[in-house]
Amino acid sequence: MKIWKKLGLVALSAMMVLGMAACGSKSSSADSKKHTITFMYRGGEDEKKAYGQAIKQFEKTHKDVKVKIIVTSADNYATKLQAAISGNKVPDVFYIEQNNLLAYVNNGVLKDISKEVKKSNVDLDNIWSYGVNSYRTNGKIVGKGPLYGLPKDVGPMSLGYNKTMFEKNNIPLPDKDKPYTWDQFIEVAKKLTKDTNGDGKIDQYATGFNVNWSLQAFVWSNGGDWTNKNKTKVTINTPQFAEALQYFADFQNKYHITPSAKEAQSLDTYQRWMKGELAFFPVGPWDLSTYNKLKFDYDLMPWPAGKTGKSATYVGSLGIGVSNKTKYSQDAVELAEYLSTNKKAQKTLVDAGVQIPNLKDMAQIWADDKSLKPANREEFLQIVNDYGRAMPAATTYNSEWYDVFMTDIQPVLDGKVTAKEYVKKEQPKMQTKLDAANQQLKATAQK
């Protein structure tokens, strides 16, 4: 046989096989009238499992819908989603990170789901207003306007303490309603920092705060902030801000109540906390499934309060949004509603220990349940309801201006640069980036 003919035959038969396969799938879907919507999300192992379960439950109540799941690791999510959007293959339903909301809305990626949600019998008043408002926007600011998503969860960052360690050292437990002052905090911390096995090396520290996730609590409770309210001006060069940053850096350099960066690298503070070698550590709801298995007892407390006398911390959130281009908007919105607000789905997720309930009434019951650990879960609810704030860059067009702050901060933490010098030097850099972000926002909002 001629080569040409041979090749032609191979190609033809390949096409036939493909063609048959295509016909096959078409006809079978037509039979049952089933259609597929895609859902893209991210998370750790426990979270993936819990959400997979919730989606199965959804499919049981929606017989005609099949949910195709695309799941990524937390690190890869943003890149993969953006690639999908650029390639015009937006999943029907997907997680939205708070700081991407404005960009996604202004570029027509997300669907306005106000009407659909109103029509369905979802009681928005029973969902954390912080959660719902994080996904409202008029294209200029976040918090007002049509609804572009529902909260997947709200993530209050509370402070945990090692109860067993307190008891062993005969130190009175922290009050759950009255925060420590900064001086009190240092006093207690110094007592808890010590060499427990007598080898001359300190092996039990009070704190081990990562600047990325803990500095906010100190800055805010001291009356400082990264920007003004309108997010137009970087305000790190205030005395309150500098004082808080200096206080934070002094944990390592002056008070020596925290492992140095070098020590922390060898055994990071998360591991130290889990081994019971740290007295205080931040605790988020997603940590509970892990921390409840630890060998020591722990509980939650308010963050130490600076000049304002009030505790402060941040609440994160992830949202579930619907693509503007989805063919099955009804089902897509229903899936978002189901995961965010359905009682059964919420129970599955809360039982898995990966989040607190989105529904207020359910959350109260959960917080009051005496059989669960840690005892003061009420603190989470207070943060969401009362004193928690959004991360500084959560509602700006991008987070570049804020990243600069964290990129350059190491010399301050190492005690080589004072906080005062640092904020003075960093402010103009950050301001330029924030201006650029706001300009971009303006340009996209006008369209």
Partner 1 sequence: MTEETVVDKKKKTFFHHDSKLYRDEHRAALLMIVLPVIGFTVFTLLPLIYSIFASFTNWNGLGEMTFTGWRNFQLMIKDNYFWQTLGNTFYLMLGIPIGLILSFLLASALSRGLKGTTFFRVIYYIPVISSLAAIAIMWQWAYNGDYGLVNQVLALVGIKGPNWLQNVHTVKPAIIAMSVWKGLGYSMLLYLAAIQSVPKSFYEAADLDGANAFQKFKNITWPMCRPVTFFLIITNVIGGSQIFTEINIMTPTGGPEYSSATIVWYIWQKAFKNFQMGYASAMSMILGILIFIITALQFYVNRKSDYKLS
The contacts found for 197-205 with CB under 8 angstroms, 24 or more apart, are 202/256, 203/277, 204/165, 204/277, 204/278, 204/279, 205/257, 205/258, 205/259, 205/272, 205/277, 205/278, 205/279
Least separation in angstroms between CB 102 and partner 1: 10
- Residue closer to partner 1 by CB (options 37, 413) is 413
- Residue closer to partner 1 by CB (options 7, 17) is 7
The per-residue b/e assignment along 337-355, b for 16 or more CB within 10 angstroms, e otherwise, is bbbbbbeebbebbbebbbb
Least separation in angstroms between CB 111 and partner 1: 14
> What are the Cα distances from residue 4, in Å, to 11, 12, 126?
11, 12, 70
Q: Are 226 and 409 in contact (CB under 8 A)?
A: no
- Residue closer to partner 1 by CB (options 4, 386) is 4
- Residue closer to partner 1 by CB (options 234, 300) is 234
Least separation in angstroms between CB 108 and partner 1: 7
Strand partners for 137: 142
Least separation in angstroms between CB 11 and partner 1: 9
Q: How many helices (H) and strands (E) does the chain have?
A: 20, 11
- Residue closer to partner 1 by CB (options 103, 372) is 103
Contact partners, residue 394, CB within 8 Å, separation at least 6: 98, 99, 134, 142, 316
CA atoms within 13 A on the CB side of 207: 25
Least separation in angstroms between CB 421 and partner 1: 14
Contact partners, residue 80, CB within 8 Å, separation at least 6: 40, 72
DSSP H/E element including 358:
none
Query: In angstroms, how far is the first alpha carbon of the chain from the final one?
Result: 62
- Residue closer to partner 1 by CB (options 259, 304) is 259
DSSP 414-445: TTSS-HHHHHHHHHHHHHHHHHHHHHHHHHHH
Q: What distance in Å separates the CA atoms of residue 26 and residue 16, rounded to the nearest whole number?
A: 15
Least separation in angstroms between CB 435 and partner 1: 13
Least separation in angstroms between CB 61 and partner 1: 33
Binding site for partner 1 (CB under 8 A): 2-4, 7, 78-79, 82-83, 85-86, 103-104, 106-109, 261-263, 265-267, 397-400, 403, 406-408, 410-411, 440, 443-444, 447
Q: Of 211, 214, 232, 235, nearest to 223 (Cα)?
A: 235
Q: What distance in Å separates the CA atoms of residue 406 and residue 403, rounded to the nearest whole number?
A: 5
- Residue closer to partner 1 by CB (options 70, 375) is 70
Least separation in angstroms between CB 410 and partner 1: 5
Q: Which residue has the tokens 């998503």?
A: 149
Least separation in angstroms between CB 204 and partner 1: 17
- Residue closer to partner 1 by CB (options 317, 398) is 398
- Residue closer to partner 1 by CB (options 112, 403) is 403
